[in-house]
Amino acid sequence: MKDIGYIVIFICFFQVAPLAAQTPYIMIDPGHGGEDPGAVGCGLEEKNVNLETSLNLRQLLQDNGFDVIMTREEDVYLTLASRTDYANAQRVDRFVAIHTNASSPPSTGVETFCYYTASTFSFDLRDKIQNEMLSIWQLRDRGVKTAGFYVLKHTVMPATLSELAFINNCTDDALYLSDSTELSRAAEAHLWAIQLHYGEDPEKTGQIKGFVYEYQESNPQKRERESHILLKHNNN
């Protein structure tokens, strides 16, 4: 009976703690590209915002010991099927799609998705991405959601899709999406979420002070802008 008990414990350990078995292999999917610009607004095209954020995220992940590939590294068109086929063929551990939102009339906020019947790993990574994005961008929390997006449905590994902000909201969201520094911060938020998902302790470059995220290196202009955005949002 003791031997059986040890076997059960051993099996359970590998069921709940598979994340540390090997170097995580992450695929980043910058949505749209080439002839498909995605959402447009405020002088921006979604395909470019997605790609810049994804390239930043790839570098951060590589710098922190992750193996990373991307569905696209430049402005090219890819079908949805080619993206998921590539991910499945590469047998990556996680699939992280980066997108930008739009609506009519323009809305605001951050939301993150996984598939309806996804694994608990998908839900966990989705929730962590949402939390970390909200810690760096003072936009409305639109919540964590499920959807039947093609890349979530047809990938065999845990997968998420991030809607960073609304590209056609020129007053609030596009201020972030048009700023390369802010896109770097969005990539950093995704890095932190992935690290937390894998049980690592992120070394964050800034800290929460009240409701405004401040870099440890002083940047009064950015703090003033974010404070304005937050106050405006809270008054709506």
Catalytic residues: 163
**Cβ proximity of 193 and 132 under 8 Å:** yes
How is residue 60 written in tokens?
A: 């951060």
**Cβ proximity of 96 and 158 under 8 Å:** no
Q: How far is CA 134 from the centre of its chain?
A: 11
Q: What contacts 213, CB < 8 A, 6 or more positions away? A: 135, 136, 138, 206, 207, 226
**Cβ proximity of 136 and 68 under 8 Å:** no
Of 48, 159, 150, 173, which is closest to residue 114 (Cα–Cα)? 159
